[in-house]
Amino acid sequence: MTTHAATQTPELQAFSKDIRSLELSPLWERTVSQKPGTPCVPHHWRWSELEPLLLKSCELIGKKDAERRVLMLENPTLRGQSFIAQTLFTGLQIILPGEVATAHRHTPNAMRFVMKGQGAYTSVGGERSMMLPGDFIVTPNWSWHDHGNIGTEPVIWMDGLDSAFTKFFGATFREDYPTETQPLYRAEGTSAASYGAALLPVDFRPEDGPSPLLRYPYERTREALETLVRNQPLHRAHGAKLRYANPATGKHPFPTMAAFMQLLPRRFSGSAYRTTENTVFNVAEGSGRVVISGQTFDFGPHDIFVAPSWCDYALSAHEDCVIFTYTDRPAQEATGFLREEEL
């Protein structure tokens, strides 16, 4: 890299100092990084530590104390700032039997990845969807949403939001719904019937934006990957990997966030890869190892780890692994910033 250090004459020093009082700064003295990557670091959260803490939080925080019982996963470099990487929010939400997480809406888009427990539902835009482990669920921005647990066990899921984008743009808005839950005016399964069978309503005109399909059931994702692993060569770095698509457009489920599921067969040893995407991993099944920027993390089911932009990573599987990921890829594709390489 070339740097053009200006000769520091007394006159130039005085000049640089003087202009500061006018809120000006000389580009030739700037120190901000002009390289890929961010100050964020790779990090691993173990389920064995997360689950007891989530259960403990239920004793300490009642549903009346918090509209959502969520533990945020923060990058060690972003303490107190709510984000797991510069562009992504990750929270773990727990809801006990009988509880309701009241209806609201906000400009950030949200996704859920269900980790443990049955009996919870989410209502989005007048339609209720049950949430089963491994399901990927879409909450389009500005749509009313409330959650509830009508089962008999705690339910835990991961929330992924693009609130870093709304914060960056100064475009964060939120509203409470006037009542605890929203009225339901579409039968459960309507979104799946309309958009989830590789069919579309006859008068439907696709529009860019979040996916109209609200729930992507794990069963179908798992089966698709299983078939591909048996019948197709594996990608050197990613094994068998599929991306969740907006069925109306073929694009990503959100304008800002992409989501993926991959299957790494037992003993798979992936090659190294890096991308300018910030990537959050959630292990649906299996155990293995990931090396991110030289740091080794041995992971098991429900562990979460983050690979910030341009950190190289390599995945390997001790047993069959199914791994959910989400990233800021669509935003980087739209801007032309995205770069990736196999190493």
Strands (E), 107-243: 110-116, 120-124, 127-131, 136-139, 145-149, 155-161, 174-176, 215-216, 240-243
Q: Does 91 engage in binding with ligand GTQ (CB under 6 A)?
A: yes
| Dist. CA 123–CA 121, nearest whole Å | 7
Q: Does 286 engage in binding with ligand GTQ (CB under 6 A)?
A: no
List % helix, strand, coil for the chain (3-state, nearest 5): 20, 35, 50
Identify which of residues 91 and 239 has a Cβ nearer to ligand GTQ in the complex: 91
Q: Does 248 engage in binding with ligand GTQ (CB under 6 A)?
A: no
Identify which of residues 106 and 252 has a Cβ nearer to ligand GTQ in the complex: 106
Among 43, 69, 128, 145, binds ligand GTQ (CB under 6 A): 145
Cβ 213 vs Cβ 196: under 8 Å: yes
Query: Which residue sits closest to ligand GTQ, CB atoms considered?
Result: 91
Identify which of residues 94 and 314 has a Cβ nearer to ligand GTQ in the complex: 94
Among 38, 75, 87, 93, binds ligand GTQ (CB under 6 A): 93
| Dist. CA 95–CA 69, nearest whole Å | 7
Surface-to-core class of residue 217, CB atoms within 10 Å of its CB (0-12 exposed, 13-18 middle, 19+ buried) = middle
- Residue 155 pairs in a beta bridge with 95
Identify which of residues 147 and 238 has a Cβ nearer to ligand GTQ in the complex: 147
| Dist. CA 233–CA 160, nearest whole Å | 31
Identify which of residues 69 and 251 has a Cβ nearer to ligand GTQ in the complex: 69
Which of 124, 118, 99, 114 lies closest to 157 in space, CA to CA? 114
Q: Does 240 engage in binding with ligand GTQ (CB under 6 A)?
A: no
Q: Tell me the per-residue interface mask from 43 to 82 with ligand GTQ, x by CB under 6 A, - otherwise.
A: -------------------------x-x------------
Q: Which of residues 1-30 bind ligand GTQ (CB under 6 A)?
A: none
What is the contact surface with ligand GTQ in residues (CB under 6 A)?
68, 70, 91, 93, 101, 106, 110, 145, 159, 161
